[in-house]
Amino acid sequence: MGDKPIWEQIGSSFVQHYYQIFDADRTQLGAIYIDASCLTWEGQQFQGKAAIVEKLSSLPFQKIQHSITAQDHQPTPDSCILSMVVGQLKADEDPIMGFHQIFLLKNINDAWVCTNDMFRLALHNFG
C-alpha cells in the first residue's frame, strides 16, 4: 500500500472503515461526521451529524452487507479527499443491488471526517 499516493491510502482506509461500521452497527457512524456534514440519500437531503445518523439508523433493514467493486480517490485543491465507491449490497433477503457513493473527506484536528456523502442505488428506470 506504500506505493500508492497518500490520498489513495487515506481514502481506501476510510472506505473500508465506513462499510465495516455500516455493516456491523450503523448507529455508530456518527464518529465520522461533523455537525456541518451533509448527506444526500436517494435524493433526500440531511445536514448535521444527528440528522445523518438518525437517517442511516432508521433505514428499513435488519442486516446489510456491502461488497466494494471499485473505488477512486482524488486530492482536492483545498487538501480534502474526494472518494467515489461503486459496489453491491445485500439487505436482509432482498436481491443484491448495485450502489454508488461519494465521500468528501476533510482533515480536522488530525482526524479525517466526512463532510459530504452522496448515496444512490444503481437503479435504472427507463419508463
> Of 5 and 3, which is predicted with more confidence?
5
**Which residue from 27, 3, 10 is spatially nearest to 111, judged by alpha carbons?**
10
pTM over the 0.75 mark:
yes
Encode pLDDT of 74-110 as tens digits: 999 999 999 999 999 999 999 999 999 999 999 999 9
Encode pLDDT of 36-70 as tens digits: 999 999 999 999 999 999 999 999 999 999 999 99
Helix, strand, or coil (residue 106): strand
Domain map of the chain by residue range? 6-121
Residue 69's alpha-carbon distances to 13, 15, 77, in angstroms, are: 15, 12, 27
In the CATH scheme, what architecture does the domain 6-121 have?
Roll (3.10)
Q: What's the rounded Cα separation, in Å, for the pair 61 and 49?
A: 21
Residue 88's DSSP bridge partners are 67, 98
